[in-house]
Structure 1
Amino acid sequence: MKSLVRQLSSSLKELKDQVCGRDALLRCLEESVTSTAEDLTAVNVGLGGAAFLSQPTTDPARARQECVDAMMRKTRIVYGSGVDYMHRLYERLYDEDEITACIIKYLCGNDRVKVMVDFESQNIGRMKEKVVCLDGTQWTGSRWYSFFDFESETVYLGAKDCPGDSENVVSARLAVALSQLSLKLAFDNEGRPYSRGDVEQEREWVRALEEVEGRRKRGGEFRWSIHHALDLRTQSARVNYFAAAVPWIITNHGSTDGRANLLQEASILLHLYSNNVMGTLLSKAKR
């Protein structure tokens, strides 16, 4: 009997030691997790973030929804009503192609983005009476369906439905203006699609312009947006609109046909945009 009691007492003590050990381990783990969370929060706040732990979204559908919702919060409908239509335009740009998606992914996390929309007019004249293009030329707003104002960093869009204009046409008008905005914000070089002091990239874009312009002089046919870029007066304006022609063509003609048109008419332009602009926009997009 005494032997049995000793065995039971020993087993009970061992069991208590194990329980205490697990409790101690749990307390250590809890303290470690709490400490790590506090450190991460401090880093996040120090970098200008909100005072909470932000978890990256891994669900593609949720990421798409959050991005479109963020763009809607940056959008002001000045005349008329068209919340659902505007929401659909952003979804279209997100879904159309990787090139248009990266523009939306970058802009949705930038606090400087402003979009003004008139759903009662095809042009922007009521929102902006006069516009000044990047090459210094001045126009009345009624001549423009969409416009990016470099000084105020504001995108303007006339989104009224009109005969013959499908939704992809309106999307393309929005895409070109948003593209110009993304170029200015991402590269901080007056709208050029490369950073200040990047001599190699500057040469590449100038060479692409000259190559396409040479083909035009020899009778080559191009989309309107490329013609428009080549006709501008200053180099900075020409290279900005030249780059913005890529999302315009892809959105207007659809991803498959748009890319085919670009490969046929200006493959060097598609190559430069895909290899340089897209990577920069995605790398600077806030998750």
Structure 2
Amino acid sequence: MAGAGDAVEILPVEEDVALDWETELEQGNRDSADELRHYQSSDFATLQGEINALHREITSRDILLRKLEESVTRLSEDIAPLKDYVTAKMQEEAHSARSQSSGSSEGGASQDGDQGTEEEENNRAQNRCVDVMMSLTEIRENNEEKTQKVRGFYEKIYKASPFTSLMLTFLERNRGVKVLIDCDSSNISNLVRRLVNLDGEKCDGTAFHTFTDFFQCTVYLGGKTGQYEVYERNQYVHKNCDPEVSLAQSLAQMVMYYIFKNRGCPYGCDDAMYEKLYEKILLETSQKKTSGACVDDLINYALNMKSSLAREVTLISVIPGMLVKYGSKGGMSRLLDQKPLLTLFFMQHVIPKMTN
């Protein structure tokens, strides 16, 4: 047994064990370091991939947004020529009215034979179009008075604006729509009991002045002037609902359905550019309303729809609705003032499709 000051002798076997343990420890440390570097490298590669993917997504989004901004800018720049067009159209109509008045004072003879011929051709085109629309229309408990009333609806829509007459002409040529009208009621409850609206809600017919059933290609209309309630200046106000305005909007929605085949939206299912542009216009419209800017009741109604689909389908139909409600001059003036981009979208995207 060794004493207190004796040196401890390390046997060769013990020395070998100690060296092996140190070697294993160093190797384990190296393995751990290598494994850590591997994980770090793997995590970095994954992170780098995610960053690259995000960068590509942001870049694509920036490109799309830049294109959208350019489209909106181009639309904004086109407002001035549109106003010039409206002014020229109003002057043309005023000149036509003066010529008709002058001709009447001289026994109805027209001072301009060519103008008289053009006017006669326009009247024939209008009568032909209205006749076709009447043939596509079924009036509940019909009589001569109701027939003339409904015919007046179509005549007013046709005369309201070149855009609304084009809309009826499109329907005249396609002849796929069916219109059901109840002249004795301001709602459609006698025509259809229950339906599912664009918000996906099951509703009773009493809730609608008009309704567009895309799947049945049918428009329902309460042909009697009714009232609706709106909140203005901290109070509820009752306003009239004109059947011809409601009819114009529903027919416009059906035209959108025929042209774009996309649930009544004013763009094709695979047309991402115009879809994003229209969404941007809708957002701009909603923000303008939120800011307290004055907008028409028809616009308010469209924006108050619950679902995005309902808002998109209803908003585009505001344009023919306002043209019929206020006339060509008054309607276009309000549209250019309140919704210029929407108006340009309608003119540059929808009208060419309707024409073709």
Aligned to 1:110: 174
Kindly report the root-mean-square deviation, in angstroms, between the aligned alpha carbons of the 2 structures. 2.0
Q: Deviations over 1:75-120 (max 9, x none)?
A: 0012343111111211111111022111101111223210001111
Shift of 1:268: 0.8
Q: How does 1:130-169 map to 2 (within 5 A)?
A: 130-161=194-225, 169=242
Shift of 1:139: 1.8
Q: Does 1:121 align with 2:194?
A: no
Q: How does 1:39-188 map to 2 (within 5 A)?
A: 59-81=121-143, 82-161=146-225, 169-188=242-261
2:225–2:242 CA contact under 8 A, matched in 1: no
1:114–1:154 CA contact under 8 A, matched in 2: yes
Q: Deviations over 1:30-88 (max 9, x none)?
A: xxxxxxxxxxxxxxxxxxxxxxxxxxxx9332222211111111000123431111112
Aligned to 2:264: 191
Q: How does 1:259-274 map to 2 (within 5 A)?
A: 259-274=332-347
- Aligned letter for 1:273? F
Give the alignment partner of residue 245 of structure 1, picking from 318, 322, 342: 318
- Aligned letter for 1:233? K
Aligned counterparts of 1:206 and 1:70: Cα–Cα separation in 2: 35
Larger radius of gyration: 2
1:175–1:251 CA contact under 8 A, matched in 2: yes
- Aligned letter for 1:61? N
Q: Deviations over 1:222-249 (max 9, x none)?
A: 1122122222233222111110111111
Question: Structure 2, unaligned stretches of length 5 or more?
Answer: 1-119, 228-237
1:148–1:156 CA contact under 8 A, matched in 2: yes
TM-score (normalizing by structure 1): 0.73
Runs of 4+ deviating beyond 4 Å: 161-166
Number of residue-to-residue matches in the alignment: 225
Give the alignment partner of residue 208 of structure 1, picking from 244, 261, 281: 281
Q: Deviations over 1:112-167 (max 9, x none)?
A: 2100011111111011112221221222111211111122121011112569988x
Aligned counterparts of 1:157 and 1:165: Cα–Cα separation in 2: 18
Aligned counterparts of 1:97 and 1:152: Cα–Cα separation in 2: 28
Q: Which moved more, 1:79-88 or 1:69-78?
A: 79-88
- Aligned letter for 1:226? I
Aligned counterparts of 1:162 and 1:106: Cα–Cα separation in 2: 28
Aligned to 1:257: 330
Q: Does 1:277 align with 2:339?
A: no
Aligned counterparts of 1:139 and 1:228: Cα–Cα separation in 2: 17
Shift of 1:258: 1.2
- Aligned letter for 2:196? V
Q: Percent identity?
A: 28
Aligned to 2:51: none
- Aligned letter for 1:278? I
